[in-house]
Amino acid sequence: MTGKALSFSPCALSTDIPPTVLKPLIHLIRPSDWTKNVFVLIAFAFWAANKCSTAPSAEILDATRQSLFAFIAFCFVASGFYCINDTVDREKDRLHPVKRMRPVASGAISPFAAIVCGITFITAACWIAASVRMGLLLAIVLYACLQVAYNLYFKRVAILDVTTIAAGFALRAAAGAIAIDVKISVWLVLCVFFLCLFLGFIKRTCDFVAAERAHSSWKSSAGYSDQRELDFLLALSAAMTVVSYIAYTTSEHAQLIFGSRAIGMTLLSPFVLTAIHRFWRRAHEGSSDSPLAALRSDRVVLFSVASYVILLGFVLFVPVARDALDAVFLHVSNAPAVVAGAPS
């Protein structure tokens, strides 16, 4: 181990961070993983699809500000717990071929400095959330409680570990709705939950495969030691993700809100399936579980995600797409009183 660990004096904290310290500090808070907090913006995106053409500009700007602040708050609280988690797990991480490069495990940042950094980010997240809405602050506090429970116990129990993480992402989606004071569909919350459950098991598989191939002595804290068990959990969570997505987009609730555009969302499900399969394949190759890394290195993932996002924006915000869907598909708002072939 080379270099000197970053450490903070409790009596003197300098704002002048040397370049040699800045890089491991950025690595510690993992800004590349802030993409995971995009779930906070789902409620705003769906709200804007119906309001951008009718709501006053002041209302839209206010909702935009509230959503962005909610996103930043969850980025900060997540980074805070990354700092704390890496400190708690530093001894075990040193046995893993990939995790041993983390700043605390490698000695680039001292445990005390990481804890101070974590508390600072969590405090900032609470302050930002309170400036938006007290309900958002409550969501941040609930998320923090989930993280504490995860670190104290759930991370050592198979399935409960990933379930706790997925619940945190479902909370993000609900918090995005709280931030702009709108209600959210339970189907959408379930869709986010099962998607993140799948991604959580993808991470466990990546860790398992990487350790196996490196012949490392590292073992999963939750006791995942059977590839067949992980494959079963991946298959189950992937199936539930697709089912809940289609259940949401075909629900009467979605069709009442979006009309025929909900059908357009359903038609985008092949891109969801493609991305899910590629993440499964990458996990079994021992590739990085980071969504941003997947977008950078896997053209199929990039194509699937980019196509889904672009086409979703087209379906939700471009009137010609709605007109085309109205002309082709039967849906709740244009259903005739008597459908051809139905008994009278």
The CATH code of the domain that includes 66 is: 1.10.357.140
Radius of gyration of the chain (CA): 22
The secondary element (H helix, E strand) that includes residue 87 is helix 57-88
Name the token pair of 43: 């409620």
Please check whether residue 325 lies inside any domain of the structure: no
Residues whose CB falls within 8 Å of the CB of residue 112, separated by 6 or more in sequence, listed in order? 7, 8
When pLDDT is averaged across residues 30-39 and rounded to a whole number, the result is: 86
Examine residue 30 and state whether it is found in any structural domain, yes or no: yes
Enter the tokens of residue 200.
């959580």
Higher-confidence residue: 40 or 2?
40
Residue 87's nearest CA partner among 16, 17, 8, 20 is 8
User: Is residue 136 domain-resident?
Assistant: yes
3-state secondary structure of 12: strand
Residue 14 is predicted with a pLDDT of 43
Identify the burial level of 175 via C-beta atoms within 10 angstroms of its C-beta, where 0-12 means exposed, 13-18 middle and 19 or more buried: buried
- Our separate counts of H helices and E strands in the chain read 16, 0
Range with the poorest average pLDDT among 46-60, 137-151, 306-320: 46-60
Spatial distance between the Cα atoms of 242 and 220, rounded to a whole number of angstroms: 28
Going by pLDDT thresholds of 50, 70 and 90, the confidence category of residue 339 is very low
Average pLDDT, the chain: 82
Nearest-angstrom CA–CA distance, 44 and 63:
7
Q: pLDDT by residue (tens digit) across 115-154?
A: 888 899 999 999 999 999 999 999 999 999 998 898 888 8
Token pair in block for residue 258: 């979006």
CA distance 79 to 87: 13
Specify if 11 maps to a domain.
Answer: no
From 70-74, 252-256, 263-267, the region with the lowest mean pLDDT: 252-256
Average pLDDT over residues 189-214: 84
**How far does Cα 255 stand from its chain's mean position?**
25
Domain hosting residue 171, numbered range:
23-180
Least confidently predicted of 156-165, 166-175, 303-312: 156-165
Domain assignment of residue 292, yes or no: no
Q: Shortest CA distance to 201 belongs to which of 227, 173, 174, 172?
A: 227
Please give the share of the chain, as a percent, with pLDDT higher than 70.
Answer: 83
- Kindly tell me if the per-residue pLDDT of 293 is higher than 70: yes
Contact (CB, 8 A) for 129 and 140: yes
Least confident segment among 182-191, 226-235, 329-338:
329-338
Task: Give me the number of domains the chain comprises.
Answer: 1
In a domain, 275, yes or no: no
Which of 249, 246, 267, 244 lies closest to 259 in space, CA to CA? Answer: 249
| Residue 4 CB contacts under 8 Å (≥ 6 apart), including other chains | none
Quote the pLDDT of residue 288.
63
For 215, phi then psi, to 5°, come to: 55, 40
Residue 283 lies inside a defined structural domain of this protein: no
- Cβ-proximal residues to 18 (8 Å cutoff; 6+ apart), any chain: none
Instruction: Of 43, 82, 87, 88, give the one whose Cα is nearest residue 66.
Output: 43
Closest by CA to 148, choosing from 128, 119, 175, 177, is 119
Q: Which residue has the higher pLDDT, 284 or 267?
A: 267
Token couple for 262: 């909900």
What confidence tier does 279 reach under pLDDT thresholds 50, 70, 90?
A: confident
Q: What is the mean pLDDT of residues 180-208?
A: 87
- Percent of the chain with pLDDT strictly greater than 90: 37
Strand-pairing partners, residue 12, are: 9
As beta bridge partners, residue 342 has: none
